[in-house]
Amino acid sequence: NRFFNFKTNNQLNIMRTLYLFTFLFCTTLGFAQTNASDPFAETIESEDLRQLLYVYASDFFQGRETGTLGQKRAVTFLKEFYETRGIKAGAGSEDYFQKMTLNIRDKEVKTENVIAIIEGSEKPDEYLVLSSHLDHIGIRKGLINNGADDDGSGTVSLLEIAEAFQKAVEAGNGPKRSVIFLHVTGEEKGLLGSKYYTDNPLYPLANTIANLNIDMVGRTDPKRVNDNPNYIYLIGSDRLSTELHELSEEVNKATVNIDLDYTFNAHDDKNRFYFRSDHYNFAKNNIPVIFYFNGTHADYHKPTDTVDKIEFNLMETRARLIFATAWELTNREERIKLIEE
């Protein structure tokens, strides 16, 4: 009997082990099959982000203040990036530029957004807008404010995400919906470039499924209570679409699995960050948004916001998360729904 019990227990243990192995194998296989974005997300690398940002946040761009020579150099840099990767200019733009004249402190300032697009393979008339602001505060008291984090980090993250989508296209696995890459001007002057776009959209706002806005993703917040650096603040994800919020959470768990911190998403947030970046002009038009943000720091809007302080491994992870979220939004069967629908 003892031998029989021993043999039976051994058989049960072996069966349990085989079952667990089979379950894990199938789960892993399923995960690999469903995460078709992974090979392209992995092309977003910290070293590429570093090389781009060392150029974009250099003195050559003179702090990128709206309407200045430095800002003109910045938009040329962005245009040339898209041209060399074979990513098309936005329809209705002037060779990637959406030109405008803004009234800034009673002065007329000529400036431009930069817009590129990858058209969807199945639903090209539905659009996901990925945005970041290309400008910063320029030269003050004789010192250049290069804005490496604000918003050089968001700008070059958007470039890397665009390149990852283009590599998917070249591999025959492009997005089903269209992806618009929107670099807006005049954010530091009052969200003016994004307001101009939503007032004069090159693609119908009614067909714009969401806006993912990237503004400061290269540093950490020294005031954050949780000392885990592997996080990102998310703002606005549940304001207009519960479905967007849930999708964002699921994508994070299935991919990079970082801390999603909603501290500044609170309706009583005294900083009012929900109203202070370019996603807000989309939200005002009833378009679901997510604002990706690392929080402020001692170098915010100072000449000391420099590239050497950027944490590129964190930035890589955050950019991969945004790419994976964009991938899911553009490839899912149905567009996400608003809360009231």
d(CA 211, CA 180): 9
Whole-angstrom distance, CA of residue 134 vs CA of residue 147: 10
> At residue 35, does pLDDT exceed 90?
no
The pTM score is: 0.90
> Quick check: 14 pLDDT over 80?
no
pLDDT of residue 36: 86
pLDDT tens string 40-97:
999 999 999 999 999 999 999 999 999 999 999 999 999 999 999 999 999 999 999 9
Please measure the distance between the N-terminal and C-terminal CA atoms of the chain and give it in whole angstroms: 66
Q: What pLDDT does residue 17 have?
A: 44
pLDDT of 34 above 70:
no
Average pLDDT, the chain: 92
Which residue is associated with the tokens 């989309």? 282
Closest CA to 134 of 110, 150, 118: 150
Q: Which CB contacts under 8 angstroms, 24+ apart, belong to 163-171? A: 163/43, 163/44, 163/85, 164/40, 164/41, 164/43, 164/44, 164/323, 165/40, 165/118, 165/323, 165/326, 166/85, 166/86, 166/87, 166/118, 167/40, 167/43, 168/37, 168/40, 169/118, 171/39, 171/40
pLDDT score at 184: 99
Q: What is the DSSP letter of 124?
A: E
d(CA 172, CA 154): 27
Distance CA 260, CA 252 (A): 8
Report, as an integer, the average pLDDT of 263-277: 97
Helix/strand/coil for 142: coil
238/245 Cα distance (integer angstroms): 5
- The pLDDT of residue 323 is above 60: yes
pLDDT 10s digits, 193-249:
999 999 999 999 999 999 999 999 999 999 999 989 999 999 999 999 999 999 999
pLDDT at 341: 56
CB neighbour list of residue 23: distance below 8 Å, 6 or more residues apart = none
